[in-house]
Amino acid sequence: MAGVFMLNDTIAAISTAAVDGAISIIRMSGADALSIADSILNIDVQKKKSHTISYGYVYDQEHDELIDEVLVSVFRAPKTFTCEDIVEINCHGGRFITKKILRLCLAHGARLANPGEFTQRAFLNGRIDLTQAEAVNDMIQADSNENARMAVQGLRGSVRKLLDPLIQDLLDIIANIEVNIDYPEYDDVEQLSSEIIQPKAREWMKRIQQILDRAQSGQLLKEGIKTAIVGKPNVGKSSLLNALLEEEKAIVTDIAGTTRDIVEGHIHLQGLTLNLIDTAGIRDTEDVVEQIGIQRSLQAITEAQLVILVLDSSRALDAQDEELLELTKDKTRIIVYNKTDISNQQDGICISAASGEIEPLLVRIHELFDRHQLVLQEPLLHNERQISLMMKAESSMRQALASMEAGMELDIVAIDIQEAYTALKEILGEVHREDLLDTLFSNFCLGK
């Protein structure tokens, strides 16, 4: 983003969690941050060098009251997170004292920051692009090593590094078209299209498709694998859920149909996150409530990215088992034989959920999904916004190729290629809508 866009007012917020703790941080950003800090501190903040920490006291001068003993960090524009002057007051961590200092900052001219407004200013002032801003929020919300690693890649500008060559290639294609329109080098437009434009466009499409494939794997790792535990009643689905979660989350009894609704949980398995759903046992029943649970179970199977089908290995397969095998045959599936460890079944895994002996299942899950972790070694798109815009770019280029193959004029083809270019620029936030930015940054925590 060319230039630095400075906002007029100064914002303030508590940047640490709203709980009692050792320290809290009140952050201010804007043209008046230093002078406002001066008005509530016993030190001359405006004379302090950038990127220094000073010791002092916060005073409420109006009431002649000492508020707290603090450390004050000074960061001068433009070499700051927001490209504006920033002051951070590190105070003792009591919620009462923290809020009192914030109120003093507001009373002396600061405005309470909106959620994510510090990061939004960093974006608007050209300090980071939109993908890096999203990575800031991803880092805050990361709940596994893999999610944190993806967020760090995003903070370091991995998406821009991924997109810049693609954007440049689009500009080269557009330039080829426009130069030929203005200064025709080829008498035969079809020759230009087939020899120059189409090969470049097809190679560009191939790279886009590879990026989208990796993005899907990245989303699996980031958001977790939707995993449905299914089976007929009383085969041990709830015992398996409890064994995976290592807690008694689901009710376990010998009475068939105990689970009448969806029971959910989340586990981390050495780099993989499973979003587990223990479904109601699927069978024919006259019980209206159980019927509703069974319908929800069928929906969960449809949406699942992994189905763990639990069968009772102490009994022969019956019609209900066969129906479930048929229902899940096209899903990524693990067949689990439960309740005994002496089964000779060849097409599944034997476990004992009640005693917690589920290691063979965990090994099989990793065999199925560990390949997705390889994508973490490469730059990735990080969320649905980025992926949907990449898909839009791919769709526009696909339309451009179809138009070229149909022999349409290249100035018409250039419109679709320009749309692909715009979609990639929108991923970085270099083309954006204000309402989109407001929505995106409103999901950030206050003070960030």
Choose among 191, 205, 176: nearest CA to 404.
Answer: 191
Task: Say what the pLDDT of residue 257 is.
Answer: 42
| Tens-digit pLDDT string for the chain (448 aa) | 334 445 689 999 999 988 888 899 999 999 999 999 999 999 999 999 999 999 999 999 888 899 999 999 999 999 999 999 999 999 998 899 999 999 999 999 999 999 999 999 999 999 999 999 998 888 888 777 777 777 888 888 889 999 999 999 999 888 878 777 665 555 555 566 667 888 999 999 999 998 998 887 777 777 778 888 888 877 887 788 888 877 554 433 343 444 434 456 778 777 678 888 876 655 555 555 555 656 777 777 888 888 989 888 878 888 888 888 888 888 889 998 987 654 455 567 888 877 878 888 888 888 887 765 555 556 778 888 999 999 999 999 999 999 988 888 888 888 999 999 999 999 999 876 666 677 778 777 777 7
Q: How far apart are CA 154 and CA 119, in angstroms?
A: 14
**Residues paired with 306 in a beta bridge:** 227
- What one-character-per-residue DSSP string does 320-337 give? HHHHHHHHTTTS-EEEEE
Separation between Cα atoms, residue 409 and residue 11, nearest integer Å: 53
pLDDT score, position 229: 87
Joined together, the tokens standing for residue 78 give: 């433009």
Q: Measure the CA–CA gap between 310 and 281, rounded to whole angstroms.
A: 10
**How far is residue 27's CA from residue 33's CA, in Å, rounded to a whole number?**
9
Partners of 192 in the beta sheet? Answer: none
| Closest to 348 (Cα-Cα) out of 317, 380, 388 | 317
Q: Which amino acid is at 399?
A: Q
What is the rounded CA–CA span in Å between residue 219 and residue 383?
A: 7
Q: Nearest-CA neighbor of 310 among 331, 336, 334, 341?
A: 336
Please count the residues of the chain.
448
Separation between Cα atoms, residue 68 and residue 73, nearest integer Å? 15
DSSP H or E run through 347: none
Given the DSSP bridges, would you call strands 349-350 and 333-338 parallel, antiparallel or unpaired?
A: parallel
pLDDT at 4: 44
CA-only gyration radius of the chain, Å: 29
Does residue 75 contact residue 86 with C-beta atoms inside 8 Å?
yes
CA 330 to chain centre: 28
CA–CA separation, 431 and 422 (whole Å)? 7
Other residues' Cβ atoms within 10 Å of the Cβ of residue 444: 21
State how far the Cα of 33 lies from the Cα of 50, in Å rounded to an integer: 13
What is the tens place of the pLDDT at every residue in 330-380?
888 999 898 765 445 556 788 887 787 888 888 888 888 776 555 555 677
The pLDDT, as a whole number, for residue 156 is 83
Q: Are 337 and 321 in contact (CB under 8 A)?
A: no
Residue pair 36/108 in contact by the 8 Å Cβ criterion:
yes
| Token pair of 146 as six digits | 């893999």
Q: Strand, coil or helix: what is 263?
A: strand
What was the pLDDT predicted at 345? 54
Q: Could you tell me whether strands 111-112 and 21-29 are parallel, antiparallel, or unpaired per DSSP bridges?
A: unpaired
Chain-centroid distance of CA 284 in Å reads 40
pLDDT at position 2 is 37
Q: Taking a C-beta distance cutoff of 8 angstroms, is the pair 273, 221 a contact?
A: yes
pLDDT of residue 190: 59
Element (DSSP H or E) covering residue 166: helix 158-182
